[in-house]
Structure formats: C-alpha cells, structure tokens
Structure 1
C-alpha cells in the first residue's frame, strides 16, 4: 500500500478534545483558542461594521440556547446526547439565510442543547429547501427577511409551523421595506437572546470522552460522488480536527500571533465557508468580515476599508479580478497577502496571471469536500506550484488507486482515497451511498472521493496533489454542486422529452455550466423554440446555478452501459471534440 501524507516540515497533529461541542472549542480559551482579550471580534459585518466580542458571542449562545430549549420543549438537554431515550433528530434546526454575523452563533446555540443544525443553500427554491427539511427531519427554521417567502413555503410543505420560523438579523441594506413589513411579527434571534436572559441557566452537557466523535453537529447536503443531494453527518470532532489541521499546516507560512481581518464572502452554508473562514480564522483570533453577497465595487471597498489580509475566493471571482485590473488599481489592496481558492479547480493559467497582475498577493489553492469536513490539501505559501492543490494536511493519509483498486505511485493518475479523523460519520439514512463511498481496507476507513488525482514532487521536494479530472459526475457552478441526475429527472417530466443526459461544459464566469443532451419524443420537432422551452422548464423550477447555461443539444440516443448507466464521459468527450474543432480554449 502506497500512502501519501503531509510534508515532514509540517508539525504532527496534536491531541484534540473529543468531549465538547465545536462551538465550545472555538470560543473557549481553555481549548487552545487565541486569548479573547487579544483577539479581534470573531465576526464583523462587512456592510455596517457591527460585531460582537468572543465573550459576547459566548453569552449570546448561552442565552439563545435557553430559549431554543423552551421552544423545542426539551426537558433534559442531555437526552439524545450522552444518555438515551430522546432522539437527537427531534432537535434538528434548518438554517436558511444569507451571510450574517449571527450564523455560527445560532448553530452553536442549537448544539448547546444537544441539537443538530442543517445549513441550506440560500439559493434554494422552496421545493429544494423543503426536501432538505423533510429529509433531515427539521423541527424549526432560522431564516432572514429576504428569504422569508421561500422559507415559509418550504416550512408549510415540511409541516413546520410559523411559530417555529425565526429570523436572523441581516443588514438593512439587503432588505426592502416590503421585506421588513412582511417580517413583522416573527421572532428574531435577538428576541431569543433577550428571552434567554430571563430564563433558568442550562445544565452542563454531559459528554463522556469520545462522544464528540459520534455526535452529529451538522447535516450538510452534498451530492457526494453522484446522485441527488444527501445529508452528510458531520461530527463535532470531525470539525475540531479539520480546524486544527488547517491551523497546524498554516503555521508554516502564516503569522498567527497578530490578529488580522479576513474575507468571509462565500455562502456560510457551504462547508468551505463554514469551517475554513468562519471557524478556523476566529479560533486563531482573526475577524471574519462577513459579506452577504458579491458585488465587485463593494467587495473592493470592503478590502480597503477593513484592510483584509486573506481573501477566500472561488475561481470565478478571481477571473473578475484578473479582467478588471484598471478598476482594482483604484483601490488600496496592499493589505492582501494571500488569496485562497477552493470549491472548484483553479487553472494554472489563471493562477499565473493573478501572480503577474498582483505579485504581492500569494495565490494558494485548496482541495476538499463536504465528506472530509472540508480541507484535505492546500498550497503552502513557501512552496507554490501553480495549478496544484498543494500538499496534504497533517493527520491525513491519502492513496491513489486504479480501477482495480491497486495503489499507484507518483505521476500515475487514479482515484483519490482519504483516511483521517476529519472524514465524516457518513450519509443520513443512505446505506447504498455509505457502502459505495466509505470502504474499509488495510485496517483503515477510506473515503472514495470520486476525483481523479495525481501526486507530483515539486522542485523543493514536496509531494503536491493535482486534481486532474472528475470521476464523479457532479457539475460545479460557482462552487455549488449540481447533480446531473436531478436535472435529468426534471427534464424527463417534460412531455416532449423521451430521454436525456446532463454534463458540465466550461464557462469563464462560473467554471462550469450544465448542458443537456435530449432525445425528443416521436413527432416533436428539434427546433430552437423547443430548446428554449426546455431551458425555461428548468429555469422555472430550479435554482439559478442549476439552469441550463450550457444550452440544449438534441441527439438520437443517450449512450448507456449494458446495465443502463448513462455514459456521460462519452458525451463529455463529444463536447470537448466539438469545442476543440471550433477553436475554443479547453
């Protein structure tokens, strides 16, 4: 067996507490976090500048938890936790909001009563959010005024009463007068905090050693290696581990002794933002400057105003930076030391261009997935190899295997397998997906990533991981996952469609976009009008990032294996050949 691990210059992973919730770990200095008195506020609103100190957030967690306990009618917060008799799934809370400074605080408050939080993509429509609510068995919802209509529609479908729908405070600049009027009468998170001040103190959680390894903190939804979204069971210890892995690795090129400000722009429901920006950075004493949505000018103003040192981005945003150099030159961006990109591959060409345009900003790239509680590899600032996803974090073992499961050496491409304490518990109520994704081999539990990777050695002697292709069939649109099976299922409901397949096609702004290959029913004309009808069919029912931005192409037959599996790779090859013939950049 060939094992790939962290470089020798990375310190070994220390022991981590496995008897406390993730919020306790992030906020309590007893567990290694930076001294609160010397720390920046963990979360700062990038629009208003509002913030709470570490101590204030801890108090808000405690007070809100008291109110949540009363609302969910939890007699004993330890039931369903270290004890038995009360199902933990009776304490699931859905979080459906744009970015705000209380997002993690409400998560920690739910955890404080032994509950589980299920973050949902703010771009979801009501049907998509309702699916997650029902699948996770959520009993309450925290949303925000701009998303209240959608949340209420989803709540109704999931059987959740309006009295269990609460609002997170978001900046007034992102709400209209109509939104604020509609939100009247709904209790806010601040209301719960105020109510909790008057309620009896909570008993301590009774977690024995090792309990945080099996206690679910988050049910985050991912399509995994294929198929429809599945609930990923992330334990408290999974997240504690990844936070420490990120920090331990970062010590090689970052100075954690001086608090700084970092950009927290990416959706807080996404595992990348949830762990890397909104927990790892506050743990070391930095401020995550929370921005609810991306607009280029406010984005640049935020960097200048808060003197941000570290930007966490995705490739489409870096493309905008590269193409708008004249505008960026009007702002003082000298504070930016590092840009980390993830959620989708960054090309070597774009990485080199950014390095040329903004030489004082080091561009680093990370790789991870929801099933690994985020980061598996990322580029060290002391060994940048453009196009690489960097080196492996401490405490993680990786293998590269071929189709027969045989281990491969450096320079040989195969599926990436991962074993570590940050690998999640599994999928919610999905034995088939668990059996396919998590396998026991050689005494270790391995996560099959579905990604094709190759390990190469840099000029400095470090092993770098390159993600070269996607064995799994997910489409990545601006960092969001789109399952082809979901769109195919929807298209098959259209009366003109006999069969179909969906694949990713390249896009400068979003990295990829879905494209549908459609077989029409007999007698239906393959016209431009029909194409637009199918594009509208998807746009009317799915989130913006799931729309058929790559278009529709009519074909005679969808290629399939003898077992009936769609051979999307053949369609991808066909699309690649077409683009090459047209002179497109691949």
Structure 2
C-alpha cells in the first residue's frame, strides 16, 4: 500500500491543466496573493533595483511582445520552435524572462552558470535553443558555445546585472533584455499562447527544459510541463498554508507575506521553483543575489531584514564553522531556514539551532524529475535527520532491490514517487525514460534512485528519511553504509571543515569507507598524522564497527560540489580508482 500525506495536511486543490505558468502566476483567479498586497516580487540585493507586482506583470507582457517581434514568432506555433537558453547568474530579470517565454508558448532551457563552453554547447545543441540570454560575466563562454552551435552573435542577449550598464564585448554591441522590453512596449498587444489551448495542453506542453546530471553519463534534459510547475507550486503553498495562516491570526494580520533569500541558482530546480515561483505566488519578496559570498550574504540578511533563508547544507556548515563572523551581523529578522538539494546531518542542524534557538530549521527533499519538493518539514513538526512529511497530492512507494513493496516503518527501499508534478520525461533518452518512469496499476511513478525509510516523528506523523543514493551506498560485508551519515558525523569534529566519504575496494570486506577531509583553518593538531588519528577515533567512538574509516583518511583542499551543494562523490570515486589503477591495484 502506498504512503500518502498525513491527515493534518490540507487536500490539494484542483490543478489547472490548460493554462501557462505565466497565466497561473499573474492572474489572481488561480489563488495568487492579490497583486496590490504583494511585496515586490524580486529585488536586487546588491543594487536595490526592483519592480512592484503590477509593473512586473506589464514588463513580462512587453518582453513577450518584443520576443515575438525579435524572432518573428507567433504564440500559436509549437513550443519546440521557440526554445531559448538562459545562461546567467541570478538577476531580478531571470525568472520574469522565463515567464515571458511561457506567455508566447516557448520553452526556457536554464543552464548551470558554472558550465564551461563545452558543457553549455551540449545543452544548447541538445535542447535546440534558437537564442541565449546571458550576463556580462558569462558572455565569453556563451559566445564560444554559441559559435559551435551555429547560434549567431545577434542571437546572444544580455541580462543586465546593474541598471544602465553598457554591455560590449568582442567589438559587438549585444542587445539587452531592456532593449527588447522597450521595443515591446511600443508594439500592439498579442494574445497569450494559452488562450488557444485545449484541456490538457498545459499537462502536455513543455515549459522548462532543465538538465539533470544524474549519477553517470551526460546530463539529461528534463521536460517539465506547465502543469508540473503549477502543481508543485500549489502543493508547497497548500502544505505551508496552515502555518502561515496561524501566524497571521496570532499577529492579527489579514494575511502574512515574508521576505525571502534568492541566492540559490535560478537555473537549479530548487531556486527556480521553491525560491522563485512559490514566493511570488504567495506575495513574498525575494532578495536576489548573483552568487554566494558569505559576508555579502550576512550583510544582505541584515540590510533587508530577511525572514526566510533558502539554503543548501554547505552554506549552513559555513555558518556553524564561522560563529565569530556570524556574530558581527544582526540576523534577528530570520524566522526560519529551509534546506534541500543535499542531506543536512542532524549534528549540523543541532549546531545551527544552538546558534539561533528561535529559528525553525526545516528540511525538504525533491528532484528535478518531480519538479522539486516531494516532502518537507513544517515548523510544528520538525525532526532533525528527516526530510519531513509528504506534501499534498504526493503518493510514494518503497520498493526493495528484489521488487518487493515495503509497507512498514523503518525498512529501507527505493523511493518511488507519484504526483501531478512528476515530469514528462527525458528529452532524446528512451532508455532513461524506461528505467526511471514506471506505469503501475494505480498510475505512473518516478523511480528516484534514492534509498529511504518511512518513520514516525515524535509528533506521531509519518516522515521520509533519505538514507543516500542507492548507487553510492557502501557495502561492507553485506552491510549498507550511507556516506551522508558519516559525512554529517565527521563535520562535528573541530578539525574538519568539510568532507566527502566514498567506498573503496577491500579484499576482506568488499568495500570500506574512506574519508577525504578539508582541514579546519587553524587546526590545533601537531601533525596530519595526529589529526587523522583523532578523526578516526571520533568515528570509532560513535559509530558501529563496520562504519569505521578502514579505507583511510586523506586531506584535500576542497570537496567537489554542484552549485546546489550536492557532493559530487562520483568525481572522487573516479579519481580514487585512477590512483589505485596507477598503483597496480586490480579493480
């Protein structure tokens, strides 16, 4: 029997399936917070540039008109004829640009701002992008990739990072988004694409094409429909409504909106949906920062009196390891922080709460393939180490390697997810589609590749606890060891600033854990040997015998991570295998 959301969770409203994301976000009839009572949706945290909700709605309309004119497109044509790449650091125009693309029935393919030219070239080619919007900092990379994709220079546009900035490179004056908005404001109105859609078109038409790195091979283009985004926005909105309504009631407010941090990359599904769409829909203001800078982040929280922090575990670890720096800033406005994209260890969460006892330290779990959130904690039911309860409209199964369904608590299995937010599939990848999306008697499920258990929280509600990626679990004498568990524990050692754990071959045990550690600045240990011994003892004193670091401890300068904070263990495994191969080991 599948697991479903807890009884306290409100039911999911009907999800519209014949409108675009842009209509859903900007027409109040679908439940959006009234425009006149909303905060400014996006504000540049460095420059202060902002637009109120009414102005931004008009700006999106003008940009949509300008795009049709610029490319000679019509709202009625297929979305696959109107694919536009977005390769930029965060700006206040990033997400509004994608909504303008949706208004004319096109697809936005958002590319990781950390990509090199070769990686960007692959995504632009695979998606069939006809043009690309970038920022000045990434222009050279964009031009190199565009040239190899036969995208002409005049189809490379600039998203200004500051007002009135002159954007020039390579002797060519690139049009900016502002140029297209200005031109569009002088053009006749156009009918939004979805005015001609039939029932179900919103569920069939692709809106975002985001690329998921997966565990191996080239990144896969994830086709996300309009309905997928609308569904997850409503799911998160509904899941958190009781908390927000209670807060408004206790403080005698008609409704509650908050100021949230917009630091996470908007190219990543977490920053795109949770950080941007949900906030704008419920009237919150998002303070946008282009990239992670620790002191700039703290200063921005202080200056804008931010209430909600959307973070990833490395940022929280940085806070807990930099207590003296954090004390220099006033973070009293913060009521809660939410972390996802990678596991947050209970030890790190406890450490953060010891610094900020009034914060609600929340965690969630989701994937690009589920258009983000599957489950999350709420302030009334936080259980560190858990990713929270299923949100409305979610149904999950736990399935063993042998294909048996788990129906009890505290038994591990692969997490399978069914939801209106589960995506259309992968572009140009039938093999991955067959492996990932499964048709069962009660509907279509997405196989996450993550091992999880269902357990009851101290409040008595069912929570999902993600153990680790199934392919990354270390098998020691038949026992499964989760790297994330050991990493979370290692981070509580004062000499460990960051770490990654992988399995390495062992004749006797099959595999054993090995830790790669970034030393904390100013470590008081007399030598590396003593520090290694101290770290190993730290694990021995708190973990069972088969979880000990028998593969050894190696010091490194930096842990490889994705922009969303996910540890790239695969890179460490590949490096370790290559090193062992050179040493003559049989692998």
TM-score scaled to structure 1, two decimals? 0.80
1:486 is matched with: none
C-alpha contact 1:316 1:509 (8 A) present in aligned 2: no
SS of residue in 1 equivalent to 2:405: coil
Is 2:312–2:564's contact at 8 Å kept on the other side of the alignment?
no
Q: Shift of residue 258 of structure 1?
A: 2.2
Partners of 2:104 and 2:192 within 8 A in 1: no
- In the alignment, the residues of structure 2 paired with residue 211 and residue 95 of structure 1 have an alpha-carbon distance, to the nearest angstrom, of 24
Contact 1:39 1:259 in 2 (8 A): yes
Quick one: structure 1 residues 191 and 172, their matched pair in 2 at CA, closer, same or farther if it must change by over 3 Å? closer
Distance 2:25 2:207 in 1: 14
1:51 is aligned to: 50
Using the alignment, how far apart are the partners of 1:516 and 1:207 within structure 2?
54
**Partner residue in 2 for 1:363:** 361
Aligned partner (choices 81, 92, 101) of residue 90 of structure 1: 81
Name the SS of the counterpart of 1:253 in structure 2: helix
Superposed CA deviations along residues 206-228 of structure 1, whole A, max 9, x for unmatched, are 11222101110000000345432
Describe the superposition over 1:549-571 as per-residue Cα deviations: whole angstroms up to 9, x where unpaired.
78643234564xxxxxxxxxxxx
Q: Which residue is 2:381 aligned to?
A: 383
The DSSP-based 3-state class of the residue aligned with 2:46 is coil
- How far apart are residue 298 of structure 1 and its match? 1.1
**Structure 2 matches for 1:495-514, cutoff 5 A?**
512=500
- 8 Å Cα contact 1:91/1:115 also seen in 2: yes
The alpha carbon displacement at 1:447 in A equals 0.4
Say whether the 8 Å CA contact 2:346–2:384 is kept in structure 1: yes
Partner SS state of residue 190, structure 1: helix
2:191 to 170, 186, 203: 203
- Alignment correspondent of 2:72: 73
Change (3 A) 1:421 1:225: farther
How far 1:20 moved relative to its partner? 1.3
**Which whole-Å CA distance do the structure 2 matches of 1:432 and 1:359 have between them?**
48
- The 3 A distance-change label for structure 1 pair 510 and 422 is farther
Could you say if the C-alpha distance between residues 184 and 328 of structure 1 is closer, same or farther in structure 2, counting changes exceeding 3 Å? farther
Corresponding residue for residue 253 of structure 1: 243
Question: Once the two structures are superposed, what CA deviation does each residue of 1:494-523 show, in whole Å capped at 9, x if it has no partner?
Answer: xxxxxxxxx999586666489999xxxxxx
Partner of 1:350: 348
Unmatched segments (≥5 aa) in structure 1? 81-87, 475-502, 518-534, 560-586
Cα gap change, 1:360 to 1:241, in 2 (>3 Å): same
Partner in structure 2 of residue 316 of structure 1: 314
SS of the equivalent of 1:339 reads strand
Counterpart position of 1:373: 371
Paired position in structure 1 for 2:60? 61
Q: CA contact under 8 A between 1:225 and 1:473: conserved in structure 2?
A: no
Evaluate the alpha carbon distance shift between residue 472 and residue 114 of structure 1 in structure 2; reply closer, same or farther with a 3 A threshold.
farther
- Matches of residues 268-347 of structure 1 in structure 2 within 5 Å? 268-347=266-345
SS state at 1:399 partner: strand
What aligned pairs does 1:101-112 form with structure 2 within 5 A after superposition? 101-112=92-103
Matching of residue 126 in structure 1 with residue 117 in structure 2 = yes
For residues 247 and 139 of structure 1, do their structure 2 counterparts lie closer, same or farther at Cα, with a shift above 3 Å needed? same
Supply the distance in 1 between the matched residues of 2:315 and 2:155 (Cα, whole angstroms): 36
> Please, what TM-score do these two structures have when normalized by structure 2?
0.80
Determine helix, strand or coil for the equivalent of 2:309.
strand
Deviations 1:288-332 (A, max 9, x none): 110001111111110011111110001110011111112212211
The 3-state SS of whatever aligns with 1:51 is: coil
Shift, 1:249, TM fit: 0.8
1:149 to 121, 140, 145: 140
Indicate how the Cα distance of structure 1 residues 511 and 310 shifts in structure 2: closer, same or farther if over 3 A, else same.
farther
Distance 1:320 1:425 in 2: 37
Please say if residues 225 and 449 of structure 1, whose CA atoms lie closer than 8 Å, have aligned partners that are also in contact.
Answer: no
1:36 alignment counterpart: 35
1:12 aligned residue = 11
Q: Deviations over 1:69-89 (max 9, x none)?
A: 122222x32122xxxxxxx32
Per-residue CA deviations over 1:250-280 (Å, capped at 9, x if unaligned) read 1232347222210010100000000001110
Partner of 2:430: 431
* C-alpha separation in 2, matches of 1:510 and 1:313: 17
Corresponding residue number in structure 2 for 1:574:
none
SS in 2 for 1:258: coil
Q: Which moved more, 1:380-389 or 1:61-70?
A: 61-70
Give the conservation status (yes or no) of the 8 Å contact 2:453–2:467: yes
CA distance in 2, matches of 1:451, 1:513: 17
Alpha-carbon contact 1:516-1:548 (below 8 Å) kept: no
Give the secondary structure class of the aligned counterpart of 2:464: strand
Pick one of 572, 575, 580 that aligns with 1:554: 580
1:225-264 alpha-carbon deviations (Å, 9 max, x no partner): 5432100000010000000110111123234722221001
Tell me the equivalent position of 2:538: none
Find the residue that maps to 1:191 and give its secondary structure: helix
Please give the root-mean-square deviation of Cα atoms over the aligned residues, in Å.
2.8
Tell me the alpha carbon deviations over residues 81-102 of structure 1, each in whole angstroms, 9 at most, x when there is no partner. xxxxxxx322100000000000
Greater shift in the superposed pair: 508-517 or 209-218: 508-517
Describe the SS at the equivalent of 1:435: helix
Aligned partners of 1:29 and 1:511: how far apart in 2? 46
The verdict on how the C-alpha distance between 1:40 and 1:510 changes in structure 2, with shifts beyond 3 A counting, is farther
8 Å contact kept, 2:305–2:333: yes
Q: Distance in 1 between matches of 2:393 and 2:169?
A: 51
Q: For 2:120 and 2:293, how far apart are their aligned partners in 1?
A: 25
Q: Which position in structure 1 is the counterpart of 2:175?
A: 187
Q: In structure 2, how many angstroms separate the alpha carbons of the residues matched to 1:212 and 1:514?
A: 42
Other structure's SS at 2:173 match? coil
Total equivalences in the alignment: 499
Partner Cα separation in structure 2 for residue 200 and residue 140 of structure 1: 23
C-alpha deviation, 1:200, in angstroms? 2.2
1:239 aligns with 2:243: no
Structure 2: tracts of 5 or more residues without a match: 249-254, 474-482, 506-555
